[in-house]
Amino acid sequence: MRITDLLSEKTVSIGVKASSKEDVIKQAVALISKSGAIGDVAVYEKGVFKREEESTTGIGEGIAIPHCKNDCVTKPALAAMVIPGGVEYEALDGEPVQLLFLIAAPNSEDNVHLDVLARLSEMLMDEEFKNKLVAATDVKAFRQVIDDAEKEKLGEEETVEGFPRVLAVTACPTGIAHTYMAEQALKDKAKELGISIKVETRGSGGAKNVLTDEEIEHCEGVVVAADVNVDVDRFAGKRVVQVQVAKGIHEPERLIKEALDPNTPIYKAGEARQTSDSKGKESLGHQIYKHLMSGVSHMLPFVIGGGILIALAFLIDTIAGNAGSASFGSVNGAAAWFKTVGGYAFGFMVWVLAGFIAFSIAGRPGLAVGMVGGFIATQTNFNILATIQGASYALQANAGFLGGIVAGFLGGYVVLLLGKAFSRLPKNLDSLKPMLIYPIIGVLIEAGVMYLINTPLIYINIGFSNMLTWMGGHPALLIVLCALLGLMMATDMGGPINKAAYVFGTAMLASQTVEGYIIMAAVMAGGMVPPLGIALSANLFPQKYSKKERGEAAVNYVMGAAFITEGAIPFAAADPWRVIVSCIGGSAVAGLLTGLFKCQLLAPHGGVFVFATIQPLYNIPLYLLSVVAGSFVTAILLGILKKDHPTPELGKWTGIRFGKKK
């Protein structure tokens, strides 16, 4: 904890006049009461005078540091006074006091007042530092002197000890962009504030820069900016701030300061934590979203890996001239091998989704229960008889993706209920719960319930599939759906709406139907447009951006081409409604055009790098046209809606302008 964390502008007074020691202490108590940290001012004042009776806090050299630790203090606080004319204080050296610091500390075990007292005493031994404080002309200058000196001192200490003050963990469902954008935002802001920080990232490549036990032990606070479950029990005993990953990108300063704030609650292992955005518990909606996204984040590697392998199978068969075959994708030997392996990866998709939703809810004991439920969701209770053109067929059907979601939540909450049910067992049986009781009883309950609800879920799944097939027979409706999905991809650029559209697209891709491939094409086109449109806008309308922004926008050509929508986030954060409206317009156009052209995309990720998997192959130029058209719509809308930047630092190219040049 730093001195400047406790010393607010309200609790500093310059140019104080006092007639006696009693008078100056009473003025200091009144000053520190403005911090809101004193529950009973009279009790606190009595405590300060009682401390003075033990021995004077006038340490000499014109300095006094009175202090009191009492139950009436709700949080640590500090007041400071400059008394230019001095006041008699019974100091150790008999000299008048010109500089007084009053410390208020709650009656807790951490003895924060002793830490602050020790640091203050050490810093005040520096004659130059003390003189600067006495000479400060206003409150802001006074606090700046302390801030500068403390940064220099603690910076040296941190270099020697090697432990950062703040630790952070960032994670998002896909682990591609938000994770690293939040990391960078926190690092940049910490550097600006002069606060040391270490950030652990949990991205698509696994955990990087992992926090050590020693670093956790020595840190002052922790920020967890994540949309998936992160193990926070390792931070027990520390101040922990938990928020969505987007907050890490947009509000890094608030989060860092909150992690260092003495009022931030200490985390206890196993407790249900609230986010810093809510006065109560974390909302049910965000809990559900977080658990679902935890499952999706673990599922995506199976979808992406399997989907691209299957797409390559179709590509190989197309090149081999087998596009019209009834066994398209499996005719050529190499194609058949790719499709088989990709099918294996796809086969795990629902199991993994269900397992890690349950894991997010109940930890490791939930994994097996949820995964078994996910497997049951991919099975069928019976053959469904269907009549097609007068003939009866037995169709194999299952609850699929929807069933996997239900199985995951069911498995997680079943294990939580079992935990409560068996909470009274003797402690020496605790080790048996996750290894024996939860798996056996949990799997039995999960299997029984899933067997009962699997049948209605199967019919819902079939109904949904039939609806998409019906929409395929009504092209106008399918085109509207494609436009809507494109629009959703640009609405919050990696947030819940974007993720909902993407998860829907990957689920349709897994159905391996023409309609599903068209939907996936619209989703990817809609996600590529926002960064591409912003980059294009910076080239066409440079007067709308600063020189720095134009440099940053150029990177979005790569981000957009790789289907990383999040590249648009910094620009949306700086000018929300203009940028978001423009991106929505362009993405909706891109989605609409891909639906109109009936472009089929067989891969779930990769942007331009998987354009070769578009079917039919002659639609590749049309798909490219859709993305380019959407990008131009976004760029033009930005050119119309955005205001000119006051200092664009333009070169010879001054950009396209609508209307008369000002």
Would you please indicate which residues are annotated as catalytic (active-site) residues? 67, 172
Torsion of CA 441, 443, 444, 447, to 10 degrees: 160
Buried b (16+ CB within 10 A) or exposed e, 438-454: bbebbbebbbebbeebb
Q: Which residues of 185-206 are buried (b: 16+ CB within 10 A; e: fewer)?
A: bbeebbeebbbbbbbbbbbeee
Q: Looking at 124-220, which runs of residues are DSSP E strands?
A: 166-171, 197-203, 206-208
601 Cβ contact partners less than 8 Å away, ≥ 6 residues apart: 509, 517, 520, 521, 524, 610, 613, 614, 623
The span from the CA of 96 to the CA of 89, in Å, is: 6
**Around Cβ 421, how many Cβ atoms within 10 Å?**
11
Tokens 């520096």 sit at which residue?
126
CA distance 397 to 392: 15
Angstrom distance (rounded) from CA 374 to CA 447: 10
* DSSP assigned state of 243: E
Peptide bond into 616 cis (omega under 30): yes
DSSP 172-189: -SS-SSHHHHHHHHHHHH
Strands 97-106 and 77-87: antiparallel
Query: In whole angstroms, what separates CA 574 from the centre of its chain?
Result: 18
From the CB of residue 637, how many other CB atoms can be counted at a distance below 10 Å? Answer: 20
Give the 3-state DSSP-derived string for 465-509, with helices as H, strands as E and coil as C: HHHHHHHHCCHHHHHHHHHHHHHHHHHCCCCHHHHHHHHHHHHHH
Cβ atoms of 500 and 576 closer than 8 Å: no
In contact, 525 and 603? CB cutoff 8 Å: no
522: tokens are 């619209």
Tokens 């926070």 label which residue? 232
The answer to whether residues 293 and 227 touch, using CB atoms and an 8 Å cutoff, is yes
Report yes or no: 638 and 554 within 8 Å, Cβ to Cβ.
Answer: no
- Structural contact between residues 48 and 84, judged by C-beta atoms closer than 8 angstroms: no
Among 137, 165, 133, which Cα is nearest to 151's? Answer: 165
Q: How far apart are CA 460 and CA 405, in angstroms?
A: 13
Distance CA 520, CA 512 (A): 11
DSSP characters over 246-295 = HHHHH-HHHHHHHHH-TTSPBP-TT--PPPTT-SSSPPHHHHHHHHHHHH
Distance CA 358, CA 373 (A): 10
* CB neighbour class for 646 (10 Å; exposed up to 12, middle 13-18, buried from 19): exposed
